[in-house]
A and B are shown apart, each in its own frame.
Chain A
Amino acid sequence: MAYSDKVVDHFNNPRNMGSFKKDEEGIGTGMVGAPECGDVMKLQIKVQNDTIVDAKFKTFGCGSAIASSSLATEWLKGKTIEEAQQIKNTDIVQELNLPPVKIHCSVLAEDAIKAALADYQKKVGDKTEAAT
């Protein structure tokens, strides 16, 4: 099976690979895995004033999983939390031209985004709670 040009591009030049310190202020971390294929994805967002100013990822998996998470970090940058919630795996499938057998990679990326957002919101919530 041949990968699309966009997948190959993200695979060869992954955007925003790396990580932030988990406990730093404004960082949300999403850690997800696909038990069926054994892929692991870590996606982090850096939030300032409700806007995602930076995003990073690390992925252990196939080319499509790497491309999906790389693309996700690109899309996340500059979005508000609410806008980021709207990103769907189908958008990723479309952009990367993923074949049916690789759709679960995009699902994993969406899960990672959701998990990172939830983690950020939980951290903010905990802090507000502690302050009151």
Chain B
Amino acid sequence: MPVLSEQVEFRMAHHTHTSGSRDIQMARSMCWHCQSEMSGEYFCERCVKVQPVSKETDYFTCFGLPRRLTIDQSKLEAKFYELSRAFHPDFYQNKSEAEQTISLGNAATLNTAYRTLRDPIQRAEYLLDLEAGSVKEIRTSPPSDLFEEILELQETMEAYRASDRASQAGHELRAQLIAEQEALERRKRDMEQQLQRLFTDWDTLQDRGDAGAQARAERDRLLKHMRDILSNRTYVKNIVNDLVATIG
């Protein structure tokens, strides 16, 4: 992303942050119904018809929130309920088919948006994709130690599944798996705490809106670090789920 557009984006995000959710500056075109220039948020101010959420509108903008990793949860919730009411099918029963379709589509988009933003990890994955492209594009070096551990653990689980649960060996394997599960869950929590700190660093950097070389390098460093931890967390989460299912 060129530096200039980054700056512009920053100002926009900042603007929405300071001016409240009511007057978001969205790149809108025309009202589908009366063709007047759109100035309202989800409804045309002239003909009052409901407007579809544009595909380019990111989830943060949908709720009038700044594009940050730490967000005001209560504000997100309040806005979500407000919009859920606004697009509720009950209010569109006597409206045209176009309006029914649009309101239904908006409700679906906002549901997905809300679920994504509500969860700090999903929110981070979503925002990092927005800011820096898909996860796949930044190849992180695979954590081979963690992988070896996962594959080894899988073998222990296999042995446990094949064992006579009531036997001494079965008991020992079970105890081993329980200990592994606890250790991995601790590790997952550590990762989440570490992420929390990185989220704060990232937001602080974004708030500064500095486009200098040093800030860019810092941005890249944070991005890679967050990506690494996010993917390691996914691996750990998966093996923990498997452990839970195996131990029962």
Q: Which residues of A contact B (CB under 8 A)?
A: 31-33, 35-40, 42, 58, 60
Q: Give how many B residues have a beta carbon under 8 Å from the other chain's beta carbons.
A: 20
Verify if B32 is at the interface (C-beta below 8 Å from A).
no
With a CB–CB cut-off of 8 A, which chain A residues contact B238? Answer: 37-39, 60
Q: Specify the main secondary structure of chain B where it touches its partner.
A: helix
Contact: B154 with A60, CB < 8 Å?
Answer: yes
CB pair B235–A38 under 8 Å, yes or no, is: yes
How many angstroms from the CA of A35 to the CA of B181 in the assembled complex?
A: 20
Given the interface contacts A31-B142, A31-B144, A32-B142, does A42 sit within 8 Å of B234 by beta carbon?
no
Rounded to whole angstroms, the CA-CA distance of A38 and B148 in the bound complex is: 14
* A58 CA to B140 CA, complexed, in Å: 21
Which of chain B's residues 163-219 have a Cβ closer than 8 Å to chain A?
Answer: none
CB pair B151 A42 closer than 8 Å: yes
- Give every chain B residue within 8 A of A32 (Cβ-Cβ): 142
Report yes or no: A38 in contact with B234, Cβ–Cβ below 8 A. Answer: yes
Q: A58-B154, A60-B239 are in contact. Are A36 and B135 (CB under 8 A)?
A: yes
What are the interface flags for B129-162 relative to A under an 8 Å C-beta threshold, 1 for contact and 0 otherwise?
0000001100010111001101100100000000
Q: Enumerate chain B residues within 8 angstroms of A35, measured Cβ to Cβ.
A: 135, 140, 227, 230-231, 234-235
A60 to B238, CA, bound (A): 9
- In the complex with contacts A32-B142, A36-B135, A58-B237 CB distance below 8 A: no
Most chain A CB within 10 A, of B136, B142, B231, is at B142
Contact A40 B147, beta carbon cutoff 8 Å: yes
* Distance, CA A68 to CA B136, complexed state (A): 20
CA distance A38 to B235 in the complex (A): 4
**What is the bound-complex CA distance between A75 and B234, given in angstroms?**
30
